[in-house]
Chains A and B, each alone.
Chain A
Amino acid sequence: MAETQTKTTDQADADLYRFDRSVELFERATKVIPFGIYGHHSPALRTPGSTPYYFAKGQGSRIWDVDGNEYVDWICAYGPMLLGYNHPKVEAAAAKQREQGDCLSGPGEVMVELAERLVDRTPFADWFLFAKNGSDMTTWAIQVARAHTGREKIIMAQGAYHGKDAWCTPGHGGLTPADRATILTFPWNDLARLQRLVEAHRGNVAGIILTPYHFPNWWDNELPAEGFLPGVRKICDEEGIVFILDDVRTCFRLHMGGSGEYFGVQPDLSAYCKAIANGYALSACGGKDAFKTAASKVFLTGSYWFSGVPMAAAMATLDELEACDGITRMRELGRKLCDDLTSCAASHGLKLTCSGHPSMPFVKFADDDDFYRTQVWCAEVTRRGAYVHPHHNWFVSTAHTEDDVQRTLEAAEPAFRVVKERFGTQM
Chain B
Amino acid sequence: MQDPLVKAHLNLHAVLPNLEELVAFDPEMVQLVASWDITIAFAARNGPSAHVSIHNGECGVRPGPAERPDVKLWFKSPQHLNAMFDGQANPIPLKGLTRLGFLSKEFPKLTERLEYYLRATDDALADQRVFEFVTKCMLYTAIFGLAELAPLSSDVADLSAHTPNGTAEFKILPDGPTVHLAHENGRYRACKGPADAPNVRMQFRDHRVCNDLLNGKVDAFAALGRGDVVITGFLPLADSLNAMLEHLEPYLK
Within the complex, what minimum Cβ distance (angstroms) separates A389 from chain B? Answer: 12
Q: Which residue of A lies closest to B234 (CB)?
A: A370
- With A44-B224, A44-B225 as known contacts, state yes or no: A218 contacts B234, CB within 8 Å: yes
Contact with B along A15-49 (1 / 0, CB 8 A): 00000000100110010001111100011110011
Most chain A CB inside 10 Å of its own CB: which residue of B159, B225, B233: B225
Question: B221's contact among A23, A35, A171, A369, by CB below 8 Å, is which?
Answer: A35
B155 cross-chain contacts in A, Cβ below 8 A:
177
18 contacts between A and B (CB under 8 A): A23-B226, A26-B225, A27-B226, A34-B219, A35-B221, A36-B222, A42-B221, A44-B220, A44-B225, A48-B226, A170-B158, A171-B158, A171-B243, A171-B244, A177-B158, A180-B158, A370-B199, A375-B232
A37 contacts B225, C-beta separation under 8 Å: yes
B233 to A, closest residue via Cβ: A370
Could you say which of A37, A173, A180 contacts B246, with CB atoms under 8 Å apart?
A173
Complex Cα–Cα for A369 and B243 (A)? 22
Q: Give 4 closest A-B pairs by Cβ, nearest first.
A: A44-B224, A171-B243, A30-B222, A35-B221
CA of A44 to CA of B232 in the docked complex: distance in angstroms? 10
Given contacts A36-B221, A171-B159, A171-B239, contact A26 B226 (CB under 8 A): yes
Known contacts A370-B200, A370-B233: A42-B243 contact under CB 8 Å: no
Cβ B225 vs Cβ A218 within 8 A = no
Bound-state CA distance A145–B37 (Å) is 68
The reply to whether the CB of B79 lies closer than 8 angstroms to some CB of chain A is no
Query: Chain A contacts of B158 at CB under 8 A?
Result: 170-171, 177, 180
| Contacting pair B221 A38 (CB below 8 A) | yes
Residues of B within 8 A of A180 (CB): 158
User: Is A372 engaged at the interface, CB distance under 8 Å to the other chain?
Assistant: yes
**Interface status of B31 (Cβ within 8 A of chain A):** no
Q: Is the CB of A371 within 8 A of B225?
A: no
Closest residue of chain A to B157 (Cβ to Cβ) is A177
Number of interface residues of B (CB under 8 A): 30
* B193 touches A (CB below 8 Å): no
In the assembled complex, B30 has its CB within 8 A of some CB on chain A = no
Are the CB atoms of B234 and A369 closer together than 8 Å? Answer: yes
Distance to closest chain B CB from A378 (angstroms)? 12
A53 is an interface residue with CB less than 8 A from chain B: yes
Inter-chain contact A177/B154, CB cutoff 8 Å: yes
- Shortest beta-carbon distance, A16 to chain B, in Å? 16
Cα(A142)–Cα(B199), bound, Å: 36
Q: Check B97 for interface membership: any CB of A closer than 8 A.
A: no
Q: Does B236 contact A (CB under 8 A)?
A: yes
The yes or no answer to B230 lying at the interface (CB within 8 A) is: yes
Report if A35-B234 is in contact (Cβ < 8 Å); known contacts: A30-B225, A43-B224, A370-B199: no
Does A172 make an interface contact (CB < 8 A)? Answer: yes
Q: Judging by beta carbons under 8 Å apart, are B225 and A48 in contact?
A: yes
Cβ-based interface call for A400 (8 A): no
Min CB distance, B199 to chain A, in Å? 5
B109: Cβ under 8 A from any A Cβ: no
A43 touches B225 (CB 8 A): yes
Please determine whether A391 and B230 come into contact, CB atoms closer than 8 angstroms.
no
- Chain A positions 209-231 with a Cβ under 8 Å from a chain B Cβ: 217-218
The answer to whether B235 touches A391 (Cβ under 8 A) is yes
Q: Do A30 and B219 form a contact, CB below 8 Å, given A48-B224, A370-B234, A372-B233?
A: yes
Roughly how many angstroms separate A172 CA and B245 CA in the complex, as a whole number? Answer: 10
Q: Majority SS of interface residues in chain B?
A: helix
When C-beta atoms are compared, the residue in chain B nearest to A177 turns out to be B158
State in angstroms the CA–CA spacing of A372 and B233 once bound together: 5
Judge if B96 is at the interface, Cβ distance under 8 Å: no
Chain A 166-209 near chain B by CB (<8 Å), digits 1 or 0: 00001111000100100000000000000000000000000000
Indicate whether B227 reaches chain A with its CB closer than 8 angstroms: yes
Q: Which A residues are CB-close (under 8 A) to B236?
A: 217-218
B162 within 8 A of A: yes
A42-B221, A171-B240, A171-B243 given; A372·B232 CB < 8 A = yes
**Is the Cβ of A371 less than 8 Å from the Cβ of B234?**
yes
In the complex, are the beta carbons of B159 and A170 less than 8 A apart? yes
CA distance A391 to B244 in the complex (A): 22
| B226, B227, B232: residue with the most chain A Cβ atoms closer than 10 Å | B226
Contacts of A27 in B (CB 8 A): 226
Cβ–Cβ < 8 Å partners of B222 in chain A: 26, 30, 34-36
Could you list 19 further interchain pairs (A-B, Cβ under 8 angstroms) beyond the known A173-B243, A371-B233?
A: A26-B225, A27-B226, A36-B219, A43-B224, A44-B220, A44-B221, A44-B225, A45-B235, A48-B226, A53-B225, A171-B239, A177-B158, A217-B236, A218-B235, A218-B236, A369-B234, A370-B166, A375-B232, A375-B233
Within B126-168, the residues touching A (CB, 8 Å) are: 154-155, 157-159, 161-162, 166
Known A34-B219, A171-B159, A177-B154; contact A42-B233, beta-carbon cutoff 8 A: no
Complex interface: chain A residues within 8 A of B220 (CB): 44
* A49-B219 contact in complex given A370-B234, A371-B234, C-beta closer than 8 Å: no
Taking CB atoms, residues of chain A closer than 8 Å to B234 are 218, 369-371
Nearest B residue to A53, CB-CB: B225
**Cβ–Cβ < 8 Å partners of A42 in chain B:** 221, 224-225
Q: How far is the CA of A177 from the CA of B247 in the complex (A)?
A: 13
- Residues from chain B with a CB closer than 8 A to the CB of A372 are 232-233
Shortest Cβ distance from A33 into B: residue: B222
Residues of A within 8 A of B226 (CB): 23, 26-27, 30, 36, 48
Closest A residue to B218 by CB, please name it. Answer: A30
Q: How far is the CB of B153 from chain A (nearest CB, A)?
A: 11
